[in-house]
Structure 1
Amino acid sequence: MMDAKQLHILQHSLGIDQYGRGRMYRDHFVTGEGSDDHADCMALTAPGYLTRRANVPMYGGSDLFRVTDAGKRAVVEASPAPPKISAAKQRYLDYLDADSSMPFGQWLKWKSKQSAEARIYG
């Protein structure tokens, strides 16, 4: 069983948020002996959640830890469910994710038009 700090290390290594959401766009963590995270990374290697490549010259002698498939499954299972949010807040979060450079009101109108067209044209 991993603790909260170890879960955070795996989530960070995969590029996902604290609820396990997002695209896993990376798979590694670099840290050296004596750092705050090294002991936790070593502990994550025992159950097979990480593999270790020690003393990597490209990283200044730090260790490279890679997340295994077992580690990916473990982080999905251990991540808490996200909090419930209102439909209005979800719309605003969708707007921020869209990064459209439109003002929010204009984006809402555009989004409404897109949804209507999808219903008509399927």
Structure 2
Amino acid sequence: MNPKLLHVLQHSLGLDEFGRGTFYRNHFVTGEGSKDHADCMALVSAGLMTVRSGNALSGGDDVFSVTDAGKAAVTELSPKPPKLTKGQQRYQDYLDADCSMTFIEYLKYRDARDRRAA
């Protein structure tokens, strides 16, 4: 699959470029003449998306949704994420924690928690 089409499917579902995340949405709004409309129509033709005509809520633009086949394609065709170094993984854990601490505060908290658990 064309990487641009895969990106449209991933974006429609709220996933990152590696297909990671949760399906927290399932729509892509674009109108005729825009740069993504032809790509979305190609995905409709392939059975990976459906289309509904635009309305006032979408500003008159078409609303596309990913089908179950499209979701399966995203899962199958998304590239594997790169291997992270230990430091990169530690920072990713901090981002995933979504806490109100600074990074250094998070590291101190995590180290103290790990010492208590040991």
Fold conserved between structures, TM > 0.5? yes
Give the ranges of 4+ consecutive aligned residues of structure 1 lying more than 6 Å apart after TM superposition: none
| Superposition pairs of residues 8-47 of structure 1, within 5 angstroms | 8-47=7-46
SS at match of 2:57: helix
Equivalent residue, structure 2, for 1:74: 73
Question: What is the distance in 1 between the residues matched to 2:92 and 2:46?
Answer: 36
Question: What is the distance in 2 between the residues matched to 1:7 and 1:96?
Answer: 25
Quote the offset at 1:4 in angstroms: 0.9
Where structure 2 has 5 or more consecutive residues not aligned to the other structure, the ranges are none
The TM-score normalised by the length of structure 2 is 0.89
Aligned length: 118
Q: Which amino acid aligns with 1:100?
A: C
SS at match of 1:66: strand
Question: What is the distance in 2 between the residues matched to 1:114 and 1:68?
Answer: 43
Question: What is the distance in 2 between the residues matched to 1:37 and 1:104?
Answer: 38
The TM-score normalised by the length of structure 1 is 0.86
Identity, % of aligned pairs? 57
Where structure 1 has 5 or more consecutive residues not aligned to the other structure, the ranges are none
